[in-house]
Amino acid sequence: MKKPYTRIYADAAASTPIHPRVGKRMIALLDTFGNPGGLHAEALAAARELEGARKEIAEAIGAHADEIIFTASGTESNDLAIFGMLRPLLREHKNMHAITLPIEHPSVLEPLEYLKKHEGLSLTHVEVDEDGLVSPKEIYEAIAPDTALVSIQLVNSEIGTIEPVREIAKMIRRARKERAAAGNTLPIVFHVDAAQAPLYLDLKVEALGVDLVTLDAQKVQGPKSVGVLYRRRGVDLEPVILGGTQERGLRAGTGNCVLAGAFAEALTIAQKGVEVRAKKVAVVRDYLLAEIQKVIPGTEVNGTMTSRAPNNLNISIPGLDGEIAVIALDAAGIAISTRSACSTEDENPSHVLAALGHSQSRARTAIRITLLPDATKQDAKCIAQALKDAYTLYQKPHDLG
């Protein structure tokens, strides 16, 4: 398949180009303009497409159609999971506790910090090790009698670390049984931000053992401005956007069958080819790392290489500022980044690398390379050469005359 772009795009964790099949489906749906909430033919046609997309997404992750809530982004899905689940409990019980990791995406950390500051939430950040991995046992030990929510990203958006979600789910089930035996009826809900995962990991929700899952179309070769929150049956939420009864009363706003259908197509494609795609891109990623370390000795890998998204490479190159590297590679026709696109205006070094115990200097020299599924070894060679050129130029004395 011919690439739909001429540059080397290696910032897939931020966004991905639309898959050709997804684009075709979007175009085919553009004439389905009716409001799904109406009763006439045009409205009913839109409603059929919207509900068909909901069913497809449910099938892709092994869920029920009524467990799929459409949102406008992964960030909104995280907001709905966190605010929608915790606010009713905070009003009723006053004292509530949540658990997360210090390396989470800002769309998880900031809502939790807001609830802590303004609404009395007690919050625990369970530390990760130097590879970015959390111990399921430490999650279990952090659970208190008033713990209502555990929120953990399946694949870290900066260093690609794959957290042991299944093992954490087992610890949470153990804590639930102990809580029930003690007569405590407060739920412990497990929310997982899986936005970075669908292209490379199987996301069957029952096997993961989760209650709430965030997905984002733009991360899986779908369009922007459409996300999904999977809500397991029996998990209570309240809406954060009011003004209508759409999405079973949990998300007001006219349903968009074009974006929903495109997301369904993208997620179905992503999940059907997971294993082959993961193996293929891992070969290119590992080749890229070897090439970079060959031309720039001293390059350091941030995060584990054994439990990591196969397209992710986060490295620090001592002596080369990360932002300078991004600008230099952009000029060479290559797109990379320093960290999550939602944090690029923050002048402080990456909170993720800080949580791993790395110095500010190592964090400032970090770059994130996240390959697309069709990345090649030739792409890897070009990236490594461009980094070498940037590094060599940056080491030369600069004439400030």
Which residues form the catalytic set? 342
Tell me which residue of 291, 315, 323 sits closest to 394, measured CA to CA: 323
Strand partners, 161: 308
Tell me which residue of 102, 164, 106, 31 sits closest to 343, measured CA to CA: 106
**Angle at the Cα of 285 from the Cα atoms of 223 and 217, rounded to 5 degrees:** 15
**Residue 122 in contact with residue 71, Cβ under 8 Å?**
no
Helices within 62-130 (DSSP H only): 74-93, 106-119
d(CA 15, CA 82): 23
Residues 87-102 as b/e (b if ≥16 CB within 10 A, e otherwise) read bebbeeeeebbbbbbe
Tell me which residue of 292, 367, 277, 381 sits closest to 325, measured CA to CA: 367
Rounded alpha-carbon distances, angstroms, from residue 364 to 194, 315, 339, 361: 27, 11, 10, 5
